[in-house]
Amino acid sequence: MIRLLLTFLITLPAAWSMGQVIHGTVLDKESGEPVDYADVFFDGTFLGTITDEYGVFTLDVTRYSSRSLTISAMGYYPASLSEFTAGKNYRVYLTPRVFAIEEAMVSAKSLTRERLANLKLFRKEFIGSTRYARRCYILNEKDITFNYGTDQDTLKAYASKPIRIQNLALGYEISYYLDRFEYDRHTKTVVYTGSIIFLKDLGTDPGSLTRYERRRAYAYAGSATHLFRALWAHALKNSGFIVRDYSTSEILTEEEMVFQDSTGRKYFYYPEDLRIDYYTRLSHISCLKKRVYFEPDGFFDPTGLLWGGTISEQRIADFLPYEYAPAR
């Protein structure tokens, strides 16, 4: 069975806060100089902004005030803000990233065949291999390089710039900050971490929107986002999901997997492996944490779960923004 641990860079917030407009400045941690044109955004959404030439940004965080805000810039490790206080002017320091792969990048000219093979594998594991992957394109593949050497068990990929993706199946343009990509050739397991900002919705006219909506609805049905929205709404059965204890096949209720704290936050946990039936699609979940935070729109802490089956096959080509809602 191929297992997938797919994680995004998320630091869960320490406290609820009221929605508001926040202001901040992004600075180089070593020099103290402002970082211009840094992306400031909520992972997996359209909501974001960029810093100006002085490293300054302003953003209305009302809609996602309970989540962490990601700050990413080319040549730096990402940072995050997880608490928002009214009237506070934030200063965010980014640490310069040093890629230890310059020699591989230079010598890659003599490794054309191996690079093409690595790119093919990278596309399959990163973009996916579902029906929509064929119409999902990486626009700047030249900015991606690898650890070369066929004798290595693990393929590692690095991106010197955000990966720009055009998804002509679902109708989105995306920017992805890749922090880590590792594919184990023996176990056929991939781990990649990063953060996504949705840049553009291509369904701007009624004709294209109708076409995209049909595909988006198919990608959404039975997805991880759909599952967690159903768990929040106490609507597993009505949404088409059957969740079972993997070893006993006992059908579980929401109360056996979801608990709510005194602040109203909800968490997902089950001590054994789970089997997720969505009509003919079968998936599996293992909890890596005893508290997996999630929200009404399907946002969840991906670092707490290990997926297998159909859901694990859905990668970037099938990923929808958290703003997406199926047409009624």
Mean pLDDT by 10 residues, the chain (328 residues): 44 45 95 97 97 96 92 94 84 86 50 88 95 96 83 86 97 96 92 95 85 95 98 97 98 97 96 97 96 97 94 96 91
Q: Which of 201, 228, 246 is the last residue of a domain?
A: 201
User: By the 8 A CB rule, do 140 and 119 touch?
Assistant: no
Q: Which residues are within 8 A (CB) of 149 and not within 5 positions of it... i.e. 6 or more apart?
A: none
- Residue 85 and residue 107 in one domain: no
- Per the structure, the count of domains in the chain is 3
Residue 326 lies in a domain: no
Give just the sign of the alpha carbon dihedral 74, 75, 77, 83: negative
Domain boundary among the residues 31, 66, 94 is at: 94
Residues 269 and 185: their CA atoms lie apart, in Å, by 30
Among residues 40, 74, 94, the one where a domain terminates is 94
Is 162 within a domain?
A: yes
Question: Quick one: 152 and 88 in the same domain?
Answer: no
Within a domain: 119: yes
- Return d(Cα 154, Cα 11) in angstroms, integer: 27
pLDDT value, residue 112: 82
Question: In the structure encoding, which two tokens stand for residue 260, read together?
Answer: 């709510």
Same domain, 107 and 70: no
Q: For residue range 144-175, list pLDDT tens digits in order.
A: 999 876 557 899 999 989 999 999 999 999 99
The residue count for the chain = 328
Indicate the pTM of the whole model: 0.87
Q: For residues 154 and 211, state if they share a domain.
A: no
Sign for the pseudo-dihedral over CA of 18, 19, 21, 27:
positive
Q: Which domain holds residue 121?
A: 102-201
Q: Are residues 216 and 229 in the same domain?
A: yes
Token code pair at residue 152: 């290595």
- Cβ–Cβ under 8 Å, residues 143 and 161: yes
Burial (0-12, 13-18, 19+ Cβ within 10 Å), 239? middle
Residues 210 and 289 in one domain: yes
Q: Indicate the helix (H) or strand (E) that contains 285.
A: strand 281-287
Closest CA to 22 of 66, 61, 64, 80: 61
